[in-house]
Structure 1
């Protein structure tokens, strides 16, 4: 399985480009091979929010961020890697851009929340989960029609806002495991970002 990552040079460019209007061309490199994947980043700024569009071949993935802060480029980098890697039929979450100590939190969800998460995977829809952050995590799940699986968007709406987006193909159990894995990753990243803030 190919896992595409953004080079450090691109991460530095993103830090500047999220503050500009325009279209920028970038590449991701596979960790396993020397395969390159090109994509285009379109940035449309307006007062209070910025629309970020990642274009790969005939696919468009968009993300809206509000009130830019110094972590916007990290959120964008995770979003790009998730979009690029789900393009390759994988739902592995992106490597966190903010290194942190392990989050000591035991089991993230209680039994009722796990049941709600499985229902969300089965039926699609949206769910707010309290997971110990300043604000609840918003999960939105869309059931794919062509194949069994889900497309999910996870967002935190606290001081250090983060977003994860991926597509997982497989049965409901596999999709629920991937969603829980992405949720754990998002909470760990948000906890690390809050510690750094």
Structure 2
């Protein structure tokens, strides 16, 4: 799994921005996964500073005492969010029926493009292994055959065929990806 890391320029900006009250737009990069944009809202007070990090549809908050190294703690926090290393029990991630949505807006758009065209995609959703999704589109009718898997030695696999408009197929594929990630998480944490 290729890790997202903040570059030196962004760290310098974070150091200066931690002393202001403002909203800033940044990008965190990974060699394999590309760029991930995020928004940082800073509320600086005399004793502590409150940070709000928005990545896609997820929102995370952090309050730190005003120190000279708080930008480094903030950078670690942002990298943990981007790499999916935050403890899910304490995370403010998006929940639906007690389960987590593992796809942000960018990954969801990639899955929608995959549903429309067919092909294969490896989704790095912050777990130990990526989720591999393959979709075959049938040209004679509006159907898609989907195969998804996570894991190497004992992979968890799903295979199904859906029929209907692309939006409905996309909704069911995303639901299935979330389900696969949720059932794989306890097994991966126990290993």
Output the TM-score relative to the length of structure 1.
Answer: 0.46
Bigger RCO of structures 1 and 2 (CA < 8 A, at least 6 apart): 1
